[in-house]
Amino acid sequence: MRLGRNDPCWCNSGKKYKQCHAAMDEKIAQYKAKGAKVPSHKIIKTPAQIEGIRKAGVLNTEILNMVEEKICAGMSTDDINTLVHEFTVSHGGTPAPLGYCGFPKSVCTSINNVVCHGIPSPDEFLKEGDIVNVDVTTILDGYYADASRMFCIGEVSPEAKKLVQVTKESVDLALKEVKPWGFLGDIGYVISQYIYANGYTVLRDIGGHGVGNDFHEDPYVCHIGERGKGMLLVPGMVFTIEPMVNAGKEPFFEDEANGWTIYTKDGSLSAQWEYTVLVTEDGAEVITH
């Protein structure tokens, strides 16, 4: 049903439509008329939802900060899982990965040539020279926030250090592309160009996603793209940017035994950084990192 200008806005702000989202909806319609792929209202978060996601983001960042303080050589990836689980629960949150589509743990821990979805194990120990991604997703009061960081264990090789650094730099570059009336393709373009220029590859088939009201939502955020292509970015969209960057070639495979863990096919190192970001009226706000 089409809203009248004096009707309550669809976002439940309590304001009249004309005072809230009417102008934005009109602009979206103009882009749609020109052939652009535009977000539905379901993808655009309401003010109340954004506040809930922000609070989940604060806790999610605190969890990663705690991991950063404690992670070291000699600890098992299951030790990391215990730290994340206990901290999350003690602060009123719920670890989103636990039980998600059967995932057995509260966090993903991906070491060296593991691209993503590494399952913590009491038999897997961090050692000097490893690089490891710790991917944390937190539910707080029904809202989700999602981020991951790379950690270098002790002294790592110059090659590993550069891979980790370049991957993070690509995300920071992409943040500058997150602005209203830009496109998701702008994000993928900047990331892929930077990654390729440094001699690495970035995965096309595993990428970022909408988040906030659920663990994984639309849109899919591909980290390979073209400027001006993909979904239109508008204020209120919340999604992750999380390029998975391989030192070698792009192909990967899934561990058939556990149905989750993704490895580089050529055995090369892989790195990933993940931020949850909000498209604002004038750019981007990092919800958690």
The pLDDT of residue 126 is above 80:
yes
Q: Is residue 25 assigned to a domain?
A: no
* Residue 180 identity (one-letter amino acid): P
Place of tokens 């749609």: 32
CB 268 within 8 A of CB 248: yes
Q: Is residue 128 assigned to a domain?
A: yes
Q: Which band of pLDDT confidence, cut at 50, 70 and 90, is reported for residue 140?
A: very high
Q: What is the pLDDT of residue 72?
A: 98
Q: What is the pLDDT of residue 84?
A: 98
Q: What is the pLDDT of residue 194?
A: 98
Q: Is residue 169 assigned to a domain?
A: yes
pLDDT digits (tens, 9 = 90+) for 251-277: 999 999 999 999 999 999 999 999 999
Residue 109 φ/ψ, nearest 5 degrees = -130, 115
CB 160 within 8 A of CB 133: no
pLDDT digits (tens, 9 = 90+) for 187-220: 999 999 999 999 999 999 999 999 999 999 999 9
Q: Which domain holds residue 90?
A: 40-288
E-assigned strand segments in the chain: 94-95, 108-111, 114-116, 131-140, 143-152, 201-202, 208-210, 217-221, 238-241, 244-246, 252-254, 262-264, 270-272, 275-279, 284-288
Q: Which residues pair with 244 in a beta bridge?
A: 272
Place of tokens 């160009």: 193
Q: Is residue 32 assigned to a domain?
A: no
| Mean of per-residue pLDDT scores for the chain | 97
Q: What is the pLDDT of residue 2?
A: 80
Q: What is the pLDDT of residue 191?
A: 98
| Mean local confidence (pLDDT), 59-81 | 98
Place of tokens 């009226």: 281
| Bridge pairing between strands 217-221 and 208-210 | antiparallel
The pLDDT of residue 97 is above 70:
yes
Among candidates 30, 9, 38, 34, which has minimal Cα distance to 235?
Answer: 38
Place of tokens 């993928």: 188
Q: Where are the alpha helices (DSSP H) in 213-257?
A: none
How far from 230 is each of 38, 183, 187, 189, 226, CA to CA, in Å? 9, 6, 10, 11, 8
Q: Is residue 266 assigned to a domain?
A: yes
Q: Which residues pair with 240 in a beta bridge?
A: 276
Into how many domains does the chain fold?
1
Q: What is the pLDDT of residue 1?
A: 63
Q: Which band of pLDDT confidence, cut at 50, 70 and 90, is reported for residue 55?
A: very high
Q: Is residue 74 assigned to a domain?
A: yes
Q: Is residue 240 assigned to a domain?
A: yes
Q: Is residue 29 assigned to a domain?
A: no
CATH number at residue 272: 3.90.230.10
Could you give the percent of the chain with pLDDT greater than 90? 99
Q: What is the pLDDT of residue 174?
A: 98
The pLDDT of residue 286 is above 90:
yes
CA–CA dist 17, 273 (Å, integer): 38
Could you give the percent of the chain with pLDDT greater than 70? 100
Q: What is the pTM of this model?
A: 0.97
pLDDT digits (tens, 9 = 90+) for 40-52: 999 999 999 999 9
